[in-house]
Structures are given as C-alpha cells and as structure tokens.
Chain A
C-alpha cells in the first residue's frame, strides 16, 4: 500500500515537473544586448577551431531567414555556465523559442514574437540559458542542426557551401509567472530575475568542412589501402 502511495506521489511530482512552465519575455531581442556576426576567418572553436587564413567578419545578412537561432537551457549551477565542448552544448535542452535575422544587419527577431513565451521550467526557478545560431543552409530547426553536429553529417548537408555556427554568452534567469516574463536579453542584470544574455557581436564561425582536394587525397589513401590489402592476400 505504501509503495502504491509513494509511486502515485512520485508520478504526480514528475507530471507536475514535466508541465511546469514559467514565462520569459521573448518579444524583442534588443540590439543593445544581442547582435550576431559571421566570421569566416576562423573555424568554429567547438568543431575544430583554428584560422582559415582568409575571409571576413561582418554583421549577419539581412535576407530574412538567412540565419536561425534557438534558445537553450540547462540547470543553473550557481554561477554563469560555460560551454567548453560541442558535447557539453548538445547536452543543453531546447526551450522551443526560436529567432531569425531581422532586416537590419546583425539584429535578431523572434520567429513567433510574443510576450507570452513559456519555458519548460517552473515559475521562480532559475536556469542557465544560451542562444545558438547557424546559417540556414544547415537547416531551419535546432533538432535537425543538432543532429548534424552530433553525427558530423553537416559537411554532406552543406555540400561545399559555407556554413556558420556559433553560441552566445550564457545567462541565467528565473522564469516569471505571468506575461511578460523574465527578460531574456539585456545589457545588465535584472533585479530579481538574474542575468540575461548579453552578447554583442556573437560570432557565428565557419564550420570546418574538408576542402575538395583534401577529400580527394583521403579517397586516394583509401584506395591505396584497399590495393595494398588485395596484394597481401
């Protein structure tokens, strides 16, 4: 009997946690707090890093839907989170709140702009947040792009095109209980709700895609290995 009661209580608690929703203010992504640039002078630090030896740095373009962004969250550890590796980034969760580039260079705009944006954590709870951004040639949803990054299939998707990917600085906010909720982007901490994302000129770095010549050499190497194996047989 005790087991049944405990199981029910646990199930209810889990259900409650699963449906816990706080609110954040996602109607405006203030250029005073968050802007983005493409950087083709260096490869993404999370996917190889290093200089490419050429390229340029400049504000993201203004063609609508040329770039996509997604707000991710994870448990707040008590200090500002860091993202040292791709694996650590892929462990973050998706809030479901997305953005794209605005018609002004480097500016962002929520895709479904509204202030009644809810996040999957409870009112008053603090979680860490980060915004990831990528060029549209990688895909239009974080689900697709995160899979490409996790499985290193993005090179095939890009098919020789330049792809960009980057992350903002992290923040942490306590979700509100009504609309509009906690401010997601701001240039200063907000009393009572934490430290929003403040990430001017967020770098969307070039993804390290093997050059065609490199691919050819790799192919030759593979062929020679096969030939060598046949000769030994």
Chain B
C-alpha cells in the first residue's frame, strides 16, 4: 500500500484582537474554514487538543500548528494523505501492469484533485468525527462515575484530558481524585491531581508521578472533584471511525467490568444496530449480551448502585434487580460510566 502525503502551509489572520483572557477566546470564525464541525464555546486548550489529534489520523486532516492568540496570524497546515495504490496483483505481471496504469491515472487524478483543493484552501474532510461533551460533576468530594467519551491527545492521559490552562492554572482543581477499577483485584487505584507534579498527577500518597494515569475511551472511572461547580469539557475525536465498529471483549462471566460507551451515545441502552452497534449502545440479547447479565448504574446522590438485569423475555429487554419486567430499558448519558457483569462471554459491539 502506498500513501502520498502533501502538506500545504499558510497563515490566516487572527479574527479578533488579542484577548486578555485566552481561555475565553472564541476562534470560531476562522476555525470554521478549517474544520467541518461546530464547536462553539470549546475552551482554547480543548480545541488545541482536537487540532493535534486531528493531524495524526485520517486520510485528510487539517490542524492549527500555532495556536497563540497573541499572534497577529495563525500558522495553519493542511496535511493531505492520498492512497495511491494497493498491490493486490499476487505476482501476475500482466495484472500488475494494468494496475500500474490504473494507479498512475488514479494518482494523477488524486494529485490534481488535491492540488486544486489545497490551492483553493477549501474545507477539508476527515473520516473521523470530532466533538466535545460537557460532563458536570458539581459537588466537591462526591464520587461521580464517568467515562471519557473521546480520544484526546496522544494517549488519553489524564494530563491531556485535564491540561493546564496556563501555568499554575489547572483545568481540574488540584487534589481532585480519580479511582481506576481493577476488575481482577476488585479494588480501585487512586490518583490525585496536582498541578505542581510534572505529570500533573500524584499517587494516593501525594507523591508526584512520572506519568499521568491513562483513561482510555470505553473505560469508566470515579471522579471526585475537590471543588464545587466543576464541569469537565471532554473534546477530541470519536474513537470509532464512520462506518466501522468497535468490539470490546467482556469475556468472563461474573466479572465486574467498569465501562463506558466507546461512541458518545445517549439514551436507551438497547438502541443501536444489533450487528454493527451503529446508533446506540446496543446492550441487549440481539447485540450479544447474555440474559441475566447485570448493569450497575451509580447514583451520586444516594452513593449507591441501581441494578438492572438483562432479560430478553421482558418487553424492554431489561428487568429490575427483582426480575420484574421494566417498561423501558435503562438510559445512559454521554460521559456516564457503569458496571457490566455479563452472565457469559460477551463481545460488546458499538459502531458509528
């Protein structure tokens, strides 16, 4: 497989005078020319995370390589990756020659198209989808069961999810804690946010960590903010590309898996195409979830779980903990984590 990459760089004028508060700066007017999405109100640091992520994946991507609101112009870069050929001739010289001819024509057409598009600085499109979600964790000291619904930064490290807005100014209040579940040990590992730590995170003993904990898409965790009124803005790339599905293996019966939906779907857990998982969380028997599997939904107000049991004989596909049929299945919100306890091997398919 051959891929040709072309890069065009240019500057765009800053759309508004420099702002005294970079975090409040809204770059929407210029960014609309670079991204085909609507991200009004996204903090600057979050947009920067999208940009760096977007430049690394997909066939065609654009990113802002310089994002300094004090500069009169922004340095922008359009990276265009064009698939030139896939050698599938299996050693047949005649077929290979035909393919070469076709490849040449395709390459020329692709380059022509790319050149025209780049020259005109038209909006570019990517196969991945970017977005953001605001997940409120309003009360200090309360445990909220959440998940990061997007791929953020390079590794989904907690330092990329909650970066410093400016030196000494963390996006998550210092000494907030996250609890990451270990399903084998039935215990949590605690990490504490600390803007003075090189990784921005400490262990439970407030020792600086060399690396921040990683919070992959699809993994649930508890967050206990150290201040009231915290709203977490998660901005990044949807972890599943358009037209594809993610398969998460929850292989062991009776194991408590702390998860989140890998595509930021909200609504009934039974929504979605049973085969591809497109359109919803796809948690029902048709989607492969064995009957009598449990779903534990955390209630931060009562600090307890509500248990639901999958039951294909129930009209909604779900029962309460007493096996009483529920009129409607449980719902989840974007960014909500929950436990799944399968009653048999389960491969959770979610698509976009």
Do A and B make up one complex?
yes
In contact, A190 and B294 (Cβ under 8 angstroms): no
Q: Give the docked Cα–Cα distance between A193 and B290 (Å).
A: 21
Shortest C-beta distance, B343 to chain A (Å), equals 5
Given the complex, which residues of B lie within 8 Å of A192, measured CB to CB? 184-186
A162 is an interface residue with CB less than 8 A from chain B: no
Q: Give the docked Cα–Cα distance between A192 and B256 (Å).
A: 12
In contact, A196 and B186 (Cβ under 8 angstroms): no
Which residues of A (92-116) have their CB < 8 Å from a CB of B?
102-104, 107, 109-110, 113-116
Shortest C-beta distance, B265 to chain A (Å), equals 24
* Contact of A28 (CB < 8 Å), options: B181, B188, B309: B309
In contact, A178 and B188 (Cβ under 8 angstroms): yes
Which residues of A (59-112) have their CB < 8 Å from a CB of B?
102-104, 107, 109-110
User: Which of B27-35, B89-97, B279-287, B317-325 is the interface stretch?
Assistant: B317-325
Q: Give the docked Cα–Cα distance between A28 and B342 (Å).
A: 12
Shortest C-beta distance, B249 to chain A (Å), equals 13
Instruction: Tell whether A23 pairs with B253 under 8 Å between CB atoms, given A28-B341, A102-B322, A180-B296.
Output: no
Q: Give the docked Cα–Cα distance between A110 and B309 (Å).
A: 13
Q: Mark B65-80, 1 if CB is under 8 A from A, else 0.
A: 0000000000000000
Given the complex, which residues of B lie within 8 Å of A25, measured CB to CB? 256, 341
Given the complex, which residues of A lie within 8 Å of B185, measured CB to CB? 176-177, 192
In contact, B254 and A109 (Cβ under 8 angstroms): no
Shortest C-beta distance, B87 to chain A (Å), equals 44
Shortest C-beta distance, B113 to chain A (Å), equals 53
Given the complex, which residues of B lie within 8 Å of A109, measured CB to CB? 321-323
| A182 and chain B: residue at smallest CB distance | B186
Which residues of B (302-322) have their CB < 8 Å from a CB of A?
304-305, 307, 309, 321-322
Given the complex, which residues of B lie within 8 Å of A182, measured CB to CB? 186
Shortest C-beta distance, B256 to chain A (Å), equals 5
Given the complex, which residues of A lie within 8 Å of B254, measured CB to CB? 33, 183, 186-188, 190, 196
A133 is an interface residue with CB less than 8 A from chain B: no
Given the complex, which residues of B lie within 8 Å of A193, measured CB to CB? 186
A31 is an interface residue with CB less than 8 A from chain B: yes
Given the complex, which residues of B lie within 8 Å of A114, measured CB to CB? 304-305
In contact, A176 and B184 (Cβ under 8 angstroms): no
In contact, A115 and B184 (Cβ under 8 angstroms): no
| B252 and chain A: residue at smallest CB distance | A191
In contact, A28 and B186 (Cβ under 8 angstroms): no
Total of A-B residue pairs, C-beta within 8 Å: 97
* Contact of B186 (CB < 8 Å), options: A32, A103, A113, A177: A177
Q: Give the docked Cα–Cα distance between A230 and B307 (Å).
A: 69
Instruction: Tell whether A187 pairs with B296 under 8 Å between CB atoms, given A103-B323, A192-B184.
Output: no
Given the complex, which residues of A lie within 8 Å of B252, measured CB to CB? 188, 190-191
Q: Give the docked Cα–Cα distance between A181 and B341 (Å).
A: 12
Q: Mark B329-352, 1 if CB is under 8 A from A, else 0.
A: 000000000010101100000000
In contact, B321 and A27 (Cβ under 8 angstroms): yes
In contact, B187 and A102 (Cβ under 8 angstroms): no
Shortest C-beta distance, A45 to chain B (Å), equals 29
In contact, A177 and B339 (Cβ under 8 angstroms): no
B82 is an interface residue with CB less than 8 A from chain A: no
Q: Give the docked Cα–Cα distance between A113 and B322 (Å).
A: 9
| A31 and chain B: residue at smallest CB distance | B292
Given the complex, which residues of B lie within 8 Å of A188, measured CB to CB? 252-254
Given the complex, which residues of A lie within 8 Å of B174, measured CB to CB? none
Given the complex, which residues of B lie within 8 Å of A113, measured CB to CB? 307, 321-322
Q: Give the docked Cα–Cα distance between A201 and B146 (Å).
A: 38
Q: Give the docked Cα–Cα distance between A35 and B217 (Å).
A: 37
Q: Give the docked Cα–Cα distance between A31 and B293 (Å).
A: 10
B165 is an interface residue with CB less than 8 A from chain A: no
A41 is an interface residue with CB less than 8 A from chain B: no
Shortest C-beta distance, A149 to chain B (Å), equals 28
B255 is an interface residue with CB less than 8 A from chain A: yes
In contact, A190 and B253 (Cβ under 8 angstroms): yes
Which residues of A (11-55) have their CB < 8 Å from a CB of B?
23, 25, 27-28, 30-33
> Which residues of B line the A interface, CB within 8 A?
181, 184-188, 252-256, 290-292, 294, 296, 304-305, 307, 309, 321-324, 339, 341, 343-344
Q: List 9 A-B contacts (CB under 8 A).
A: A25-B256, A28-B321, A30-B309, A32-B343, A178-B187, A186-B253, A187-B253, A188-B254, A193-B186
